[in-house]
Amino acid sequence: MSRARRTRRPVGRLHAALLVGLTVILLGSGGTAVHALWASSATTGSSVRAATVSVTSTGFDQLSGAVTSSSPSRTATVVVKNTGTVQSPWTGTVSATASATADRTLASGTKVVAWSTTASSCSATTSVGSGSVSGTWASPPTVSGTLAGGAHSTWCVRTTASGFPTSGSASVTGTLGVVLGSGTWTGRASTSATQTAAGPTVSGGFRCEPTDGNWYVFVAWDTSVAPSDSNYGVMVNGTRIATSQGSYGKAAITRDQVPSTLAADGTVPVSVDLLDGNGAKVRQVANGTVVAFEQSGARGFRCS
């Protein structure tokens, strides 16, 4: 009697299992995720995707240039773009550098106004839009908003100068700093614009009177611009070297008053200021130049 053969069922092939790991890292503050990394590993390969926060700002430099009383305004089209992939709030802050007195006069006397627009560009004739913000270069406005990833916002920025230097030229540099995002996970961009204003063209009857030997000169000016009892300050490179009283309208330029430490050899600018009763400057009334040079081992002056 034969034994019945028992049929063995083949063992099914064990398929290789894929090991899939999912790691999600969300870094940020509040509800804004500023960086996310999804990493999956398997026998077939891996993939990485990253969410980023970055921003660009263009157009603010269109405000650069000279401003005058006849052409006091400049207009720029500023575009802020979220070049990242995460919706984030942004803020644009303007700061200005004005060091000298003339610079500060220009800064405080220049109005800065900004407004959001749906137009692609802004021009000198574009009307100020609703919701505008304004200030001056000395106390500038701030702009802000929220941008989805890849989106942009367009702003018109206009400056109008009304306070010009009464003597000497002026320069103000404004910088727009844009921050997108929050906390330590932010994108940043900055652009600058420099505006200049020339000083007044004032001769005021300025004239130079030479002396024998060219050791010193006299400078004179028109005193009819003020009452006869007015005082005048004679200035070289920001230093008052002499004060002239009343209608005399004249002062000497000598090596003791203008040493080489105050003005080097060559053309020396001289200006004349009208003074108030306390000796403070009211305004510049005349300007011109003389020439300093060395002769026989000593400093001399001659007319330009």
pLDDT in tens, 275-296: 999 999 998 899 889 999 999 8
User: Pick the residue with more confidence: 23 or 211?
Assistant: 211
Tokens describing residue 185: 């996970």
Is residue 23 pLDDT above 80, yes or no?
no
Task: Choose one of 174, 197, 220: the last residue of a domain.
Answer: 197
Q: What percent of the chain has pLDDT over 70?
A: 81
Which residues form the domain of 145? 55-197
Please state, in angstroms and rounded to a whole number, the distance separating the CA atoms of residues 203 and 304: 14
User: Letter for the amino acid at 73?
Assistant: S
Contact residues for 177 (Cβ-Cβ < 8 A; gap 6+): 92, 93, 94, 95, 188, 189, 190
Please state, in angstroms and rounded to a whole number, the distance separating the CA atoms of residues 268 and 43: 82
239 assigned to some structural domain: yes
Please state, in angstroms and rounded to a whole number, the distance separating the CA atoms of residues 115 and 132: 4
Instruction: Tell me: do 224 and 166 sit in the same domain.
Output: no
Instruction: Tell me: do 183 and 61 sit in the same domain.
Output: yes
Instruction: Tell me: do 237 and 131 sit in the same domain.
Output: no
Res. 29 pLDDT band, cuts 50 70 90: very low
Res. 50 pLDDT band, cuts 50 70 90: low
41 assigned to some structural domain: no
Is residue 44 pLDDT above 80, yes or no?
no
Instruction: Tell me: do 115 and 243 sit in the same domain.
Output: no
Model pLDDT, residue 221: 93
Instruction: Tell me: do 183 and 241 sit in the same domain.
Output: no
Model pLDDT, residue 127: 96
Is residue 19 pLDDT above 60, yes or no?
no
Query: Do residues 176 and 261 lie in contact, with contact meaning Cβ atoms separated by under 8 Å?
Result: no
25 assigned to some structural domain: no
Q: Work out how many domains the chain is built from and give that number.
A: 2
Is residue 107 pLDDT above 60, yes or no?
yes
49 assigned to some structural domain: no
23 assigned to some structural domain: no
CA dihedral for 283, 287, 293, 298, sign (positive or negative): negative
Model pLDDT, residue 89: 95
Instruction: Tell me: do 218 and 241 sit in the same domain.
Output: yes
Report CA dihedral (24, 28, 33, 36) to the nearest 10 degrees.
Answer: -30
20 assigned to some structural domain: no
Instruction: Tell me: do 134 and 241 sit in the same domain.
Output: no
122 assigned to some structural domain: yes
Instruction: Tell me: do 218 and 298 sit in the same domain.
Output: yes
Most confident of 6-15, 49-58, 131-140, 265-274: 131-140
Task: Choose one of 197, 226, 261: the last residue of a domain.
Answer: 197
19 assigned to some structural domain: no
User: Pick the residue with more confidence: 52 or 125?
Assistant: 125
Task: Choose one of 150, 165, 197: the last residue of a domain.
Answer: 197
Model pLDDT, residue 39: 25
Instruction: Tell me: do 247 and 145 sit in the same domain.
Output: no
Model pLDDT, residue 205: 87
Q: What is the pLDDT of residues 147-196, one digit of tens each?
A: 999 999 999 999 999 988 766 678 999 999 999 998 878 999 999 999 99
Model pLDDT, residue 247: 82
Q: What is the pLDDT of residues 121-151, one digit of tens each?
A: 999 999 999 999 999 999 999 999 999 999 9
User: Pick the residue with more confidence: 44 or 103?
Assistant: 103
Instruction: Tell me: do 73 and 123 sit in the same domain.
Output: yes
Res. 20 pLDDT band, cuts 50 70 90: very low
CATH of the domain at 76: 2.60.40.10
Instruction: Tell me: do 130 and 156 sit in the same domain.
Output: yes
Model pLDDT, residue 200: 64
Is residue 248 pLDDT above 50, yes or no?
yes
Instruction: Tell me: do 190 and 93 sit in the same domain.
Output: yes
What is the pTM for the complete model shown?
A: 0.56
